[in-house]
Structure 1
Amino acid sequence: MASRSLFLSLRRRSSQRCMSRLLSSGSVSTEYTDDYINNSETDDLRSRIFRLRLPKRSATSVIEKWVGEGNRISISDLRQISKDLRKSQRFKHALEISEWMVSHEEYKLSDTDYAIRIDLMTKVFGIDAAERYFEDLPLTAKTSETYTALLHSYAAAKLTEKAEELYERIKGSKLSFSALLYNEIMTLYMSVGQVEKVSSVVEELKRQKVEPDIFTYNLWISSCAAALNIDQVQRILNEMRCDSGCNDDWQRYINLVNIYVTASRLTSADSISPIEIEKGITQREWITYDFLVMLYAGLGDKDKIDQIWKSLRMTKQKMTSRNYICILSSYLILGHMKEVGEVFNQWKQSTTTEFDISACNSVLSAFEDAGLMEKANDLHMLLISGNCSPTNK
């Protein structure tokens, strides 16, 4: 009991010191006004907080008023409201809920609560504040989740040196980490163009006997593709097939990668040249985005595919047959024929890339080789309806 009281006291003082520094620095306005408007139809704490129209309004005062009216609120309720606020990008109000939880000893914070708090501190006050908060945490609160949260903040800001220093600290700790931590540092290396470092992270993951997930494999494959090391891509795919955790999503992703590698001629001269353009995506980075599209196709996430495809089309980079193959195959394997037809027409009407019937035939053959005969037939019929002549019968 004494040790728990000491821990709670340290936790509260750490949080209060951090918040005091931030508030005294003028980073956040202290002039809060509760603009809660009574609404008898939805008079619950979540609705009251979501009716705060401006970030400077105080979620804390809303909670205090709610409790002052004799209402009770559980930590699970607070977590759910915070989650909903984060989804709505209401990070400052979510952080105030976190602060309320910290300042009330009856709420026992989990490792996830601390990790979320680091992420919110980064978004509201900046990485320096999150870093100070992490360092001020008691040793018992410096867990795999909080380390991963801070690494995520560094990776998102592309602070390679800080991320690598933290990664070395992590490797020297006795904590156990999931694939998420390694995915974070791999994502950073991909984002800053240091694709050659990804393989060493995978080696470390294997040394620690950590089970890779589908995102690990995607990042690993993307790094090899970006380096045009297609033989290694094939070796990774073979490893995935033997992975005990391989499920239907993984198999669909493996099929897509096989189709992509077989049909897209990654080693052709025009694909190797990394042409820099005004909006900043190189030919090498295109390959990485293509694999990301296929990952979400493997996971069945059409919305993500839509978002990535829209973003890529807004750049001024010259589209290649490979890019169209990737998106066309992804929509096709998910059964979204309307989108397949739209991509097909965009390709045919493109002013930057000549429509390539031989590439379409390669896709058709690759679908057949993967045993996806129904999808191959759909593509065959699409080519015929588009006045093209597929060689496959």
Structure 2
Amino acid sequence: MWALRRASAPLRNQGYRVRTSYVFGKLEVPYFWEGNVAGFGTTAALSDRFISFERNNLETWPSSGVYISSHGLSTQAGAENSGEEGNVEDNEEELTSGSEIDDDDDVDDETQNELDLPEGETGLAEKISTKGAPSELFNIIWKAPGLSVPSALDKWVSEGKELSRADISLTMLYLRRRRMFGKALKFSEWLEANGKLVTDRDYASQLDLIGKLRGLRMAENYIAKIPKSFQGEVVYRTLLANCVMSTNVRKAEEVFNKMKDLEFPITAFACNQLLLLYKRTDKKKIADVLLLMEKENVKPSPFTYKILIDAKGLSNDISGMEQVVDTMKAEGIKLGVGTLLLLAKHYVSAGLKDKAKATLKETEEINSKGSRRPCRFLLPLYGELQMEDEVRRLWEICESNPHVEECMAAIVAWGKLKNVQEAEKIFDRVVKTGKKLSTRHYSTMMNVYRDSKMLTKGKELVNQMAESGCSMDPFTWDAVVKLYVEAGEVEKADSFLVKAVQQSKKKPLFATYIALMDHYASRGDVPNAERIFDKLRILGYVGRFTQYQTLIQAYVNAKTPAYGMRERMKADNIFPNKALAGQLAQVDSFKMTDVSDLLD
């Protein structure tokens, strides 16, 4: 049951070391992290960056004394997303009305909140994956302008149309799968106003939509409006999932502890949310969540393994990743298409082409039903591997009646192959459908121009996007900034980002600032690197390992000492690995000594 050996072993690129191990079945959970935490005593607690618990008092969930710390990185992550209202596109339609509607099988798929299928309704997932047309109820909502959805529904009901639970569930599932969250929320609010929310999952679904569209604060406030009899575990786990999706560590930990206080059973779902959260923000905490799962006898789900595979892959610990896979097989869990694609992605990133090719071949072999769904994931990977024949073969499968996501995947693939002409041809086909494209679609094509250093083409695409009425968002900014940076025009990239933020007040992506910072660091431009570093802190991107690596490299390239850098890192709970320690040693060598001072 607990065969996850070394799933929480130290991550190589983080520089963590384990002194002793507590055996978690076959999973080795560290007794303590050397240099960070003193050894466990009889009632020792982990540091503020870990889960605190009484080591010898973990009988049951209500009385175990397990609490997730709300300190350490919590302040940082909480600032990253304070629950401000987000921007959600309602135009993620397929290119053809008969296309399949699928959700992405990615490890971070909206934190896997399992809200799409209401309790008691069966067979809906199968119905929605068929090529049949959506229901009449869905079409009514789809065609109605956002604000007029309630009146359109009132008219539909007044005409004597029956509104069954199956209709409601299937329509909501269609809306969610198409990511039409705005209309889904209007539909849910109309259902509530008409007394049609009758289960805790109905209320949880509405809470989820509020969180997506209006922020965590509004979602949390909504709980108080839910009838007490429906304020159960599923509602709070939904709030937890939204906190994780927002990477709000402080709020996620608060909600997890609230669930403990309410004596809800600890579940694999809740633990998976924490694993997702810590995979993104602090991988050292993964071991502690797994230890908690063992103590509470929570069996890992297949998704638990996927998170661990992804965490290992992101850390370039391929051996550890393969150990998790071996454990899955030993537990009798078959590797599905999604897991194999995840493995292939990390093999590609690690430069292990033979293993990547073998995994992709296995993926296609187990896709016995011949579904086109894996194509959208296979195309970019084959492109990364420079396998043009495979890219062409898969695109020919989709070309006659492509989904928009298949088109985007093909564009990425041809971009990796530096075949800009083929990518442009597919993008033009998407544009000519007349469907309103989102900024994400334009950004996909822009990234192709960026990789090929075609700045003029990129600028033309930005103008085309503006003419189409599609406003720019942080993802578009990211593509434009990187386009300028790749063309060597970092000052223009910096200026563009400053103006974009001033005009929209939206928050740029972490990766966007790092792209600028990397370039300044490569030039040894310490003042600008420090300026970007400070900007990241102001926006709440605090205490990330990458920031310090990039900043210290600026000092290294400038051949100037970085006074007080260790203290700054310690304040952010950042502990250097071997590579970062080497960078610090380099900048230390630039410090003035008494002797050098005399010689000067």
TM-score range normalised by the length of the shorter chain: 0.5 to 0.7
For each residue in 1:87-144, what CA deviation from the matched residue of structure 2 results, as whole angstroms up to 9, or x when unmatched? Answer: 3333232222222322334x35223212211111123322211110124434432333
Q: How does 1:202-213 map to 2 (within 5 A)?
A: 202-213=290-301
Q: How does 1:1-393 map to 2 (within 5 A)?
A: 44-52=136-144, 54-57=145-148, 59-105=149-195, 107=196, 109-176=198-265, 178-192=267-281, 194-244=282-332, 246-247=333-334, 249=336, 253=340, 260=347, 264=351, 297=363, 301-306=373-378, 324=384, 346=417
CA contact (8 A) 1:155 1:187 kept: yes
The corresponding residue for 1:15 is: none
Higher relative contact order (CA 8 A, sep 6+): 2
Q: Distance in 2 between matches of 1:188 and 1:97?
A: 30
Instruction: Assess, with a 3 A threshold, how the Cα gap between structure 1 residues 240 and 172 changes in structure 2: closer, same or farther.
Output: farther
Identity %: 22
CA contact (8 A) 1:189 1:195 kept: yes
Q: Distance in 2 between matches of 1:188 and 1:102?
A: 31
CA contact (8 A) 2:310 2:342 kept: no
| Pairwise CA distance, 1:229 | 4.5
Q: Distance in 1 between matches of 2:168 and 2:342?
A: 43
Q: Distance in 1 between matches of 2:324 and 2:263?
A: 29
Q: Distance in 2 between matches of 1:46 and 1:145?
A: 26
CA contact (8 A) 1:198 1:223 kept: no
What amino acid maps onto 1:305 in structure 2? Answer: F
CA contact (8 A) 1:214 1:250 kept: no
Q: Distance in 1 between matches of 2:135 and 2:316?
A: 58
CA contact (8 A) 2:306 2:339 kept: no
CA contact (8 A) 1:189 1:198 kept: yes
The corresponding residue for 1:4 is: none
For each residue in 1:301-349, what CA deviation from the matched residue of structure 2 results, as whole angstroms up to 9, or x when unmatched? Answer: 5245258659xx9xxxxxxxxxx56x97xx89xx96989xx79x949xx
Instruction: Assess, with a 3 A threshold, how the Cα gap between structure 1 residues 307 and 171 changes in structure 2: closer, same or farther.
Output: farther
What amino acid maps onto 1:117 in structure 2? Answer: Q
Q: For structure 1, which runs of at least 5 residues remain unmatched after alignment?
A: 1-26, 28-41, 267-289, 314-323, 353-393
CA contact (8 A) 2:211 2:219 kept: yes
For each residue in 1:172-213, what CA deviation from the matched residue of structure 2 results, as whole angstroms up to 9, or x when unmatched? Answer: 443335433322222222233x12222222222333333323
- Between 1:146-155 and 1:177-186, the stretch displaced more is 177-186
What amino acid maps onto 1:203 in structure 2? Answer: L
What amino acid maps onto 1:51 in structure 2? Answer: K
Q: Distance in 2 between matches of 1:119 and 1:255?
A: 26
Q: Distance in 1 between matches of 2:395 and 2:380?
A: 18
Instruction: Assess, with a 3 A threshold, how the Cα gap between structure 1 residues 92 and 150 changes in structure 2: closer, same or farther.
Output: same
For each residue in 1:64-96, what CA deviation from the matched residue of structure 2 results, as whole angstroms up to 9, or x when unmatched? Answer: 222223333123212222222233333232222
CA contact (8 A) 1:195 1:227 kept: no
Instruction: Assess, with a 3 A threshold, how the Cα gap between structure 1 residues 130 and 257 changes in structure 2: closer, same or farther.
Output: same
CA contact (8 A) 1:241 1:251 kept: no
Instruction: Assess, with a 3 A threshold, how the Cα gap between structure 1 residues 76 and 210 changes in structure 2: closer, same or farther.
Output: same
Instruction: Assess, with a 3 A threshold, how the Cα gap between structure 1 residues 228 and 72 changes in structure 2: closer, same or farther.
Output: closer
Instruction: Assess, with a 3 A threshold, how the Cα gap between structure 1 residues 303 and 199 changes in structure 2: closer, same or farther.
Output: farther
Q: Distance in 2 between matches of 1:302 and 1:184?
A: 25
| Pairwise CA distance, 1:230 | 4.8
Instruction: Assess, with a 3 A threshold, how the Cα gap between structure 1 residues 297 and 122 changes in structure 2: closer, same or farther.
Output: farther
Q: Distance in 1 between matches of 2:143 and 2:286?
A: 45
CA contact (8 A) 2:197 2:203 kept: no
Q: Distance in 2 between matches of 1:121 and 1:66?
A: 25
What amino acid maps onto 1:48 in structure 2? Answer: I
Instruction: Assess, with a 3 A threshold, how the Cα gap between structure 1 residues 165 and 56 changes in structure 2: closer, same or farther.
Output: same
Q: Distance in 2 between matches of 1:297 and 1:147?
A: 36
Instruction: Assess, with a 3 A threshold, how the Cα gap between structure 1 residues 76 and 239 changes in structure 2: closer, same or farther.
Output: same
Q: Please identify which structure carries the higher helix content.
A: 1
Instruction: Assess, with a 3 A threshold, how the Cα gap between structure 1 residues 239 and 137 changes in structure 2: closer, same or farther.
Output: same
Q: Distance in 2 between matches of 1:254 and 1:247?
A: 14
Report how many aligned residue pairs link the two structures: 264
Task: Give the alignment's Cα RMSD to 1 decimal.
Answer: 4.7
CA contact (8 A) 1:179 1:210 kept: yes
